[in-house]
A and B are shown apart, each in its own frame.
Chain A
Amino acid sequence: MERAAEWSGPGARAPRAGFSWAVLLWSLVYPQRGHRILPTIPGVILIALALGIGTAAYNSSSNILFITLSLLLACLILSGVLSWLNLRGTEWRLQLAPPLRAGHDAVVGLDLRNGKRFLPTYGLWFEFLAKPVDRYGPARAESTVTASGAEVKAALARAEAAERRGRVPQIGRLDPRGEGRVEWIVRPAERGRLRVELASVGSLFPFGFLRKDVGTEVRCDAIVWPAPTEYRRHALGAARRVAGGERVTRPGTGGDLLAVRRYTPGDSHRLIHWKASARTQTLLVRQLAAESAEGYSLWVRTEGGMWRRPEQFEVLVSLAATLAEDLFRTGRLVAVAIDGGGPLPVRRVHDLELFLDALAVLRISEQPFAPAPETGAAGAEPATGTPRGGRQQVITFVPDGVRGVAAYVDGQLAASA
């Protein structure tokens, strides 16, 4: 697989392999993966014309017809040469800017570069393919010997239904030594790992006789975060304050000193910690803490016994992701945890992104559901294993009916989706 960030294509400098006529001839007989040349309707007409004229030429021994036949064949050769020249020196680079979110448009960019000295490049199109990775196991049936036809068809249908394909044409001319960009808008249907590929680069240039497709190995993997969901707040805002409840300290403009750090251009001079700077011979500034607020921790449990319906599990993941983002935005997200994993403090955007990444690939675990002994009921607040080992302001999730999901804070319903 070629790395997406690198230039690839006919014009990219590849390590020069030893030239071999055998390899060249074999590539003509058995093209590389994805390479395909198919006649278009004008091409079929041209071939039919050539066949007809050739038959007439042999039938009549007319050199006029032989000339016409030769000219038609030469035009086909010219078409091939021009098509090769058009692609020669052209490079592309896939650019995928995260974040990707299920149900939301994302831009897949393809940078183009024409390395030729004076010949422009015309009329390319780019076939993009986005497909989930390992979403339903192997994307295609591995064997058709043991599998029944229905199974194969079903596997293929599933794989194709999850795929997103798109063709983006190159509008206009890519000048010699010029660069350009095409963009493909893709909307991932579901969370998870997504592989975006430049499946092929095609062209009808120059005369439209042949449709040439050049397969590429350019691909790029990304994580699609869960789709945000609408939820109903119940008591999160009115949740009781717990004495000694966890408070959030984070950089801000409050009055308390949080830390001392190196000076970076743009810092106010008033924040310079002169004493510490003099002591360390390094310019240091004070980092103040933000006004504190009560924080919450999110704990997502994935036991299969609790989440028997996959679609309900998807609602759980979406609700967890949405709550996490909302809480982080208001500065009240303290930590996150998934199942028995240790709680992870969330201080920076990066921490939140890590949590969303984890949610994106979250699966229902095989572990049986163990109800909390204190509550004795499913959906109640868990007794053990809470983040930071405490019982403070932990948001947990339980199924709510057959489709919904409810979020509880210390046993009180806080939100539902």
Chain B
Amino acid sequence: MSRASARRPQLTLTELHQLKWLLGAGLTLLAVGTVFYMEVDAWVLMGLTAAATVATAARPGLPARVPRLAHWLAFPAMVAFFAGDLWLKTEILPAMVRLAVMLLLYRNITYRQRRDDLQVVVLGLFLVVVAGVLTVSLTFAAHLLVYTGCALALLLVITLTDAATGGKKQPPVPVGETPDWAQEADWGRLAGRLREVSDWRVLGFGAVLFAGVVGVSALLFLAIPRFQLENSMFLDRLITKKARSGFSDTIKFGDVTEIQQDTGVALSVDVSDQSQIPASPYWRMLVLDHYENGTFRLSLGLVGQEFGPGRTHALVHGDVKPQLGVATVWTFFLESGVSRYLPLLGRFELLRFREVQNFRLAPNLGLLALREEPASMTAYRVEGFDLSGVLPDPGFAQRWRERAEANPRRGTLQVRLPLDAAEQAQLAQLGREIAGPGRLAAGDFAQRTEEWLRRNHAYTLSPSIPAGAGDPLVRWLVSREAGHCELFAGAFVLLARASGYPARVVTGFRGGSWNGYSNNFTIRNADAHAWAEIFDEARGAWLRADPLGTSAAAQAAEPRGEQALVSRMDRSWKARLDSLRVFWYRRIVSFDTASQAETLKAMKEATQSTGKRLREEFAAAVAKVKAWLAQPWDGRRLLRIAAAVAALAALVWGWREFGRGWLRGWSRNRGAKGHPVRREAGGWLRRLEAADPDDPRVRAAIAELQRLRYGAPGTWPEPQGAFRRARVAARIGRPREDAVMAAGK
């Protein structure tokens, strides 16, 4: 076809088919890989598909061995499976995902036609998009980019294959037969051929174009007009979510510690005013008031008493009154699988979800619970946090005051101790030892109890509770064993309740690191924590008591803002990666009409400021030139200028005379040395060194190869033919084994 085609080899039709097969397999693997983070029960199918894909990619002859019966039964079986799946599990989305994986499996154990390849692309895109919508994770972005690149490469190869066949439709491969391209598949050789036919300039240009695609899609993403339709249908409502780990209504000893083993990010928090950041933030999630035999849980009584009715809205109004000035805005990005209870720093003025949510609010407990476990990242903004560490609870205060009255509807007082008398007496005795004879204020009691616990127990993530009868927490309390945060918090609650103070366990996160790159809090699962709250009758509020951390009273004296952040600053590589995630959440996932307007405004301001700066720089440069011209002219100055002009002229002349030619020659030689045809010719010449030089075919092959290796491209013979002849010559010229042995003797 092309007269210049001798310069660079081209892929044959067979090689294009092989490449297409390989790319289809790659796409399939990428697509089924989404099951890893999609939380759909399709692990077996995924493993099967991945294994089959790898096997057929490695040995493309395998699909010919699939029995005819399997082809006949494939689609009825898939339809039956899908119907059964839907009927048994009544979840449309997981069923569709499993169906897509099955179809991909089938497409990889049969020889694909053009439409089958397109089906693979569409099915894969479906899986990737569903995974992205369900998880909203940064992995989706990487996955989508890689998938797009591979899909475009596959479509390009399909187009080239069609062009190589002259647009003629290829007949389907009969069942049981192996096409030629599959029989000749040699991936190592194909890789070599790809290297030969590739031009680094074209590859570089392709990479630039792909980067351009990413850039254009980013621009389109920013520019696409946004408006929101209410009552939306969303994919994540078509799937039942379940938490992978995290906090639930019931926590046994060790649960929080188990969460601490996970170093993954649980929560990222943006703060609009860094001066408001407390030194030791406690992210409250759950209050556990009921204790029984080593387990704390949120009692149904407290739930019924404190949680309001379920609501569906994007706005939640708290009970903190608006303050003068601009309220600090805290933007939370809660990862999936953490809990349906949202982490909060305390009471708040206003909470705004990114999208409408079903929730229940417990204002006196400072808790907010979603109806369902979010399967994807949940974003919400909170304004006007009360950061005092004190939680006013007028309702409980009222009940506490009226505790002596016999009121069956009074509700829980959070002082119950389901222990036997001996244990209760033991705890009361300990309480007296700690607090002394009189009744202390709740804050003082908390402080002494925290000190006592710290004095008697060390901290460990691997505690051991002494064996014996009775309550396990009491056994640990009276021992000198080390313990984790749950044991400390639980022991505090038992001691407080035994001494007549209402107390409860609170779970959530403590602290976190400050990402120095993206300027946000990163709270990991390893920051999971349990602490206690004790009711202060005098203030009518709950006070935080943390035997392993900072009490509410101490927190008030701690520095805030930048000073508080210094010790939490994280500039590690992990933080750099986390900053990408935060960028994803801030700029992509949370992008809305307001963000769009902000972006446009920022672009306008940037353009204006850049224009202004350029104008100023230009004016300054003109002023400099004017000042330079206005300087007195003398002989020395003129001489200097003339010398500079002469040097510049010499430089230009030297470049035009020598430099340009040298550069051209250098690049030409460089290109020639690196030419794939020359390289391959060199390889064949080396191989033919051992051949019989007297054989005319060997001599002819060497002459052709030398022409390819050293000759001008215009004089080249057809390279593939020359290499074929060289292969034959190498075979002929190879000394026979018996001759070699005879020579050896």
Q: Do residues A172 and B2 form an inter-chain contact, with CB atoms below 8 A?
A: yes
Within 8 Å of chain A (Cβ to Cβ): is B260? no
Instruction: For the complex formed, measure the closest distance between the CB of A39 and the CB atoms of chain B, giving whole angstroms.
Output: 13
Q: Do residues A178 and B2 form an inter-chain contact, with CB atoms below 8 A?
A: yes
Range of interface residues on chain A? 35 or more
Q: Do residues B2 and A208 form an inter-chain contact, with CB atoms below 8 A?
A: no
Chain B: which residue is nearest A69 at the CB level? B224
Q: Do residues A75 and B148 form an inter-chain contact, with CB atoms below 8 A?
A: yes
Chain B: which residue is nearest A67 at the CB level? B221
Q: Do residues A81 and B133 form an inter-chain contact, with CB atoms below 8 A?
A: no
Within 8 Å of chain B (Cβ to Cβ): is A49? yes
Interface residues of B in 1-24 (CB under 8 A from A): 1-5, 7-8, 10
Instruction: For the complex formed, measure the closest distance between the CB of B13 and the CB atoms of chain A, giving whole angstroms.
Output: 10
Within 8 Å of chain A (Cβ to Cβ): is B86? no
Q: Do residues B592 and A74 form an inter-chain contact, with CB atoms below 8 A?
A: no
Within 8 Å of chain B (Cβ to Cβ): is A98? no
Q: Do residues B201 and A118 form an inter-chain contact, with CB atoms below 8 A?
A: yes
Within 8 Å of chain B (Cβ to Cβ): is A342? no
A82-B209 Cα distance, complex, nearest whole Å: 9
Instruction: For the complex formed, measure the closest distance between the CB of A270 and the CB atoms of chain B, giving whole angstroms.
Output: 42
Which of A101-109, A163-171, A353-361, A362-370 lies on the face that meets chain B? A163-171
Are A61 and B155 CB-contacts (below 8 A) given A67-B217, A74-B220, A122-B163?
A: no
Instruction: For the complex formed, measure the closest distance between the CB of B287 and the CB atoms of chain A, giving whole angstroms.
Output: 33
Within 8 Å of chain B (Cβ to Cβ): is A175? yes
Chain B residues whose C-beta falls within 8 Å of the C-beta of A172 in the assembled complex: 1-2, 5, 10, 164
A56-B8 Cα distance, complex, nearest whole Å: 47
Which of A14-22, A136-144, A199-207 lies on the face that meets chain B? A199-207
Chain B residues whose C-beta falls within 8 Å of the C-beta of A49 in the assembled complex: 122, 125
Instruction: For the complex formed, measure the closest distance between the CB of A271 and the CB atoms of chain B, giving whole angstroms.
Output: 41
Q: Do residues A62 and B133 form an inter-chain contact, with CB atoms below 8 A?
A: yes
Q: Do residues A205 and B218 form an inter-chain contact, with CB atoms below 8 A?
A: no
A61-B353 Cα distance, complex, nearest whole Å: 13
Chain B residues whose C-beta falls within 8 Å of the C-beta of A71 in the assembled complex: 144, 148, 213, 217
Q: Do residues B220 and A73 form an inter-chain contact, with CB atoms below 8 A?
A: yes
Instruction: For the complex formed, measure the closest distance between the CB of B65 and the CB atoms of chain A, giving whole angstroms.
Output: 30
B167, B209, B227, B592: which contacts A125 (Cβ < 8 A)? B167
Chain A residues whose C-beta falls within 8 Å of the C-beta of B212 in the assembled complex: 78
Q: Do residues A119 and B217 form an inter-chain contact, with CB atoms below 8 A?
A: no
Chain B residues whose C-beta falls within 8 Å of the C-beta of A178 in the assembled complex: 2-5, 7
Interface residues of A in 327-381 (CB under 8 A from B): none
A114-B216 Cα distance, complex, nearest whole Å: 28
Are A60 and B233 CB-contacts (below 8 A) given A67-B144, A175-B4, A180-B3?
A: yes
Within 8 Å of chain B (Cβ to Cβ): is A258? no
Q: Do residues A59 and B233 form an inter-chain contact, with CB atoms below 8 A?
A: yes
Are A70 and B224 CB-contacts (below 8 A) given A45-B122, A49-B122?
A: yes
Q: Do residues B133 and A65 form an inter-chain contact, with CB atoms below 8 A?
A: yes
Q: Do residues A175 and B7 form an inter-chain contact, with CB atoms below 8 A?
A: yes
A58, A175, A205: which contacts B163 (Cβ < 8 A)? A205
Chain A residues whose C-beta falls within 8 Å of the C-beta of B214 in the assembled complex: 74
Give the one of B155, B209, B589 with max A CB within 10 A.
B155
Chain B residues whose C-beta falls within 8 Å of the C-beta of A62 in the assembled complex: 133, 234-235
Within 8 Å of chain B (Cβ to Cβ): is A232? no
Instruction: For the complex formed, measure the closest distance between the CB of B132 and the CB atoms of chain A, giving whole angstroms.
Output: 4
Q: Do residues A68 and B592 form an inter-chain contact, with CB atoms below 8 A?
A: no
Within 8 Å of chain A (Cβ to Cβ): is B583? no
Are A70 and B5 CB-contacts (below 8 A) given A61-B232, A118-B202?
A: no
A326-B162 Cα distance, complex, nearest whole Å: 47
Chain A 151-185, CB-CB to B under 8 Å as 1, else 0, gives 00000000000000001011111111111111000
Within 8 Å of chain B (Cβ to Cβ): is A280? no
Chain A 186-204, CB-CB to B under 8 Å as 1, else 0, gives 0000000000000000001
Instruction: For the complex formed, measure the closest distance between the CB of B211 and the CB atoms of chain A, giving whole angstroms.
Output: 11
A56, A70, A181: which contacts B218 (Cβ < 8 A)? A70
Within 8 Å of chain B (Cβ to Cβ): is A263? no
Chain A residues whose C-beta falls within 8 Å of the C-beta of B159 in the assembled complex: 122-123, 204-208
Q: Do residues A60 and B160 form an inter-chain contact, with CB atoms below 8 A?
A: no
Instruction: For the complex formed, measure the closest distance between the CB of B399 and the CB atoms of chain A, giving whole angstroms.
Output: 43
Within 8 Å of chain B (Cβ to Cβ): is A53? yes
Within 8 Å of chain A (Cβ to Cβ): is B459? no
Interface residues of B in 591-646 (CB under 8 A from A): 591-592
Instruction: For the complex formed, measure the closest distance between the CB of A57 and the CB atoms of chain B, giving whole angstroms.
Output: 8
Within 8 Å of chain A (Cβ to Cβ): is B444? no
A58-B592 Cα distance, complex, nearest whole Å: 11
Within 8 Å of chain A (Cβ to Cβ): is B141? yes
Chain A: which residue is nearest B234 at the CB level? A60
Chain B residues whose C-beta falls within 8 Å of the C-beta of A77 in the assembled complex: 213, 216
A77-B214 Cα distance, complex, nearest whole Å: 11
A69-B122 Cα distance, complex, nearest whole Å: 14
Are A171 and B163 CB-contacts (below 8 A) given A61-B592, A177-B4, A178-B2?
A: yes
A98-B132 Cα distance, complex, nearest whole Å: 64
Within 8 Å of chain B (Cβ to Cβ): is A120? yes
B5, B7, B213, B589: which contacts A74 (Cβ < 8 A)? B213
B122, B217, B227, B228: which contacts A70 (Cβ < 8 A)? B217
Q: Do residues B1 and A118 form an inter-chain contact, with CB atoms below 8 A?
A: no
Chain A residues whose C-beta falls within 8 Å of the C-beta of B74 in the assembled complex: none
Q: Do residues B163 and A169 form an inter-chain contact, with CB atoms below 8 A?
A: yes
Chain A residues whose C-beta falls within 8 Å of the C-beta of B437 in the assembled complex: none
Chain B: which residue is nearest A53 at the CB level? B129
Q: Do residues A63 and B588 form an inter-chain contact, with CB atoms below 8 A?
A: yes
Within 8 Å of chain B (Cβ to Cβ): is A42? yes
Are A171 and B588 CB-contacts (below 8 A) given A65-B133, A75-B213, A120-B202?
A: no
Within 8 Å of chain A (Cβ to Cβ): is B385? no
Chain A residues whose C-beta falls within 8 Å of the C-beta of B122 in the assembled complex: 45, 49
Give the one of A41, A42, A71, A180 with max B CB within 10 A.
A71
Q: Do residues B8 and A175 form an inter-chain contact, with CB atoms below 8 A?
A: yes
Interface residues of B in 243-272 (CB under 8 A from A): none
Q: Do residues B4 and A59 form an inter-chain contact, with CB atoms below 8 A?
A: no
Interface residues of B in 88-136 (CB under 8 A from A): 115, 118, 122, 125, 129, 132-133, 136
Are A75 and B152 CB-contacts (below 8 A) given A82-B209, A167-B167, A172-B10?
A: yes
Chain B: which residue is nearest A71 at the CB level? B217
Q: Do residues A122 and B160 form an inter-chain contact, with CB atoms below 8 A?
A: yes
Within 8 Å of chain A (Cβ to Cβ): is B156? yes
Chain A residues whose C-beta falls within 8 Å of the C-beta of B226 in the assembled complex: 61, 66
A112-B3 Cα distance, complex, nearest whole Å: 10
Chain A: which residue is nearest B158 at the CB level? A208
A204-B155 Cα distance, complex, nearest whole Å: 11
Chain B residues whose C-beta falls within 8 Å of the C-beta of A205 in the assembled complex: 159, 163
B2, B199, B216, B589: which contacts A63 (Cβ < 8 A)? B589
Chain B residues whose C-beta falls within 8 Å of the C-beta of A402 in the assembled complex: none
Within 8 Å of chain A (Cβ to Cβ): is B140? yes
A61-B355 Cα distance, complex, nearest whole Å: 8
Within 8 Å of chain B (Cβ to Cβ): is A64? yes
A82-B155 Cα distance, complex, nearest whole Å: 13
Chain A: which residue is nearest B4 at the CB level? A178
Chain A: which residue is nearest B148 at the CB level? A71
Chain A residues whose C-beta falls within 8 Å of the C-beta of B148 in the assembled complex: 71, 75
Give me 20 other A-B pairs in contact (C-beta within 8 A), A169-B163, A208-B158 excluded. Answer: A42-B155, A61-B226, A61-B228, A62-B235, A63-B221, A66-B226, A67-B132, A67-B141, A67-B217, A67-B221, A74-B213, A74-B214, A78-B213, A82-B209, A114-B2, A119-B205, A122-B160, A125-B167, A169-B167, A174-B1
Residues of A bordering B, CB below 8 Å: 41-42, 45, 49, 53, 56, 58-71, 73-75, 77-78, 81-82, 112, 114, 118-120, 122-123, 125, 167, 169-182, 204-209
A-B pairs, top 9 by smallest CB distance, nearest first, are: A178-B4, A123-B163, A74-B217, A175-B4, A70-B220, A207-B155, A70-B217, A180-B2, A172-B1
Listed A/B pairs (22) with beta-carbon separation below 8 Å: A41-B118, A59-B232, A60-B235, A61-B232, A64-B129, A67-B141, A67-B217, A70-B218, A74-B220, A75-B213, A78-B209, A114-B4, A118-B202, A122-B163, A172-B2, A174-B2, A175-B5, A176-B4, A179-B3, A179-B4, A181-B1, A208-B159
